[in-house]
Amino acid sequence: MGRRWIALLLVAALLLVACEPRGAPAEPTMARGRRIEVEGGAYTLLTIEEFRELLDEEDPLLVNVHIPYEGEIEGTDLHIPYNAVEDHLSDLPDHDARIVVYCRSGPMSEIAARALVGLGYTDVFDVEGGMIAWVEAGMPLVE
């Protein structure tokens, strides 16, 4: 009698799976990055893998904030010194535009990300480890 119950349960489970509607919406994916709360809002810290995924899916405004210039990631749109973000507001898009900042190793882009959030930008990303992490992941820099 026990085997019959197991067989019936197995058949019932298979029928439930087979009857699930095709094209059902996928489960939402986890948000990418780690949210960093700062004065005025928050920005998102991305690992190199998360950054690469973002670039594969979207075309955000990519800003190199490192000084002095030491190369860049391909596709970089702007070069703005990390300590002069507020002097370049006319170069930046609307406050709700997706902006990704990076530098050589991380500290300068953290300062720039905090400054952008403080200036009212709401969709700011910072690349953790910057160009050094990018190169360590096997990706090239443009000189």
Q: How confident is the model at residue 143 (pLDDT cuts 50, 70, 90)?
A: confident
- Cα–Cα distance, 32 to 22 (Å, whole number): 27
- Does residue 85 carry a pLDDT above 50? yes
Tell me the CATH number of domain 26-136, given options 3.40.250.10, 3.40.50.2020, 1.20.58.1610, 3.40.50.1820.
3.40.250.10
- Cα–Cα distance, 5 to 119 (Å, whole number): 65
- Cα–Cα distance, 9 to 6 (Å, whole number): 5
- Domains of the chain, by residue range, sit at 26-136
Average pLDDT of span 109-121: 98
pLDDT tens digits, one per residue of 27-67: 333 468 999 999 999 999 999 999 999 999 999 999 999 99
Average pLDDT, the chain: 86
Average pLDDT of span 107-119: 98
- Does residue 21 carry a pLDDT above 60? no
pLDDT, residue 132, reads: 98
pLDDT, residue 32, reads: 82
Joined tokens for residue 100? 């990704």
This model's pTM is above 0.85: no
